[in-house]
Amino acid sequence: MKILIISDTHGKLDNFFKVLEIVEPIDLLVHCGDVEGQESEIEALSGTPCHMVSGNNDFFSFLDREKEFTIGGKHVFLTHGHYYHVSMGPERIWEEAYSRGAQIVMYGHTHKPVVEERGAVTLVNPGSLSYPRQNGRRPSYILMELENGKASYDIRYL
């Protein structure tokens, strides 16, 4: 199972088109918030089921603020991250994910990609496709592969 994880597109879809061309076909799309419109378009273009949450810039969005779902037997907690002050570090979002019994927490907001296994919870942040802030500032996304209950994550850059 191939899962594309993106975040913080902020109303721009050009890099999303590029990523889709590179990774298609995918089985699931996850968007960690700060979509700023085009929610329906993104889902339609991906051609797959889609989990999306609202971010701190999605003021009038119909999207949920948080979601929990299961992929390949793994309990995933999805939220943009600003409620847990992820700009200061992932401690609070980690605690929330742990208390919910999640094995994976997917979030955005920092515009810096992260994959980190921390005890019982794996932190997964794809960075931003539109306004990257990590060193080098290349737009980033994560391709997750699930096989026989084992997850692997590939941080990729455009």
Residues of the shown chain interacting with Mn ion in the complex, contacts defined by CB under 5 A: 8, 34
* CA pair distance 114, 59, nearest whole angstrom: 26
Nearer to Mn ion, 39 or 145 (CB): 39
Nearer to Mn ion, 26 or 86 (CB): 86
At CA 88, angle to CA 13 and CA 30, rounded to 5? 30
Residue 100 sits at the vertex; the CA angle it makes with 102 and 110, to the nearest 5 degrees, is: 70
Which CB atom, from 100 or from 133, has the smaller least distance to Mn ion? 133
Amino acid at 20: L
Cis-peptide into 25, omega within 30 deg: yes
Q: What are phi and psi of 121, to 5 degrees?
A: -125, 135
Which residue, 8 or 126, has its beta carbon nearer to Mn ion?
8
Beta carbons of 80 and 109 less than 8 angstroms apart: yes
Residue 119 C-beta: closest distance to Mn ion, Å: 27
Question: Based on CB atoms, which residue is closest to Mn ion, 67 or 75?
Answer: 67
- Name the residue whose CB lies closest to Mn ion: 34
- Least gap, CB of 10 to Mn ion (angstroms): 6
Q: How far is the CB of 111 from Mn ion (least distance, A)?
A: 6
Report how far Cα 29 is from the mean position of its chain's Cα atoms. Answer: 9
Residue 88 is classified by DSSP as: G
CA angle 101/107/110 to nearest 5° reads 140
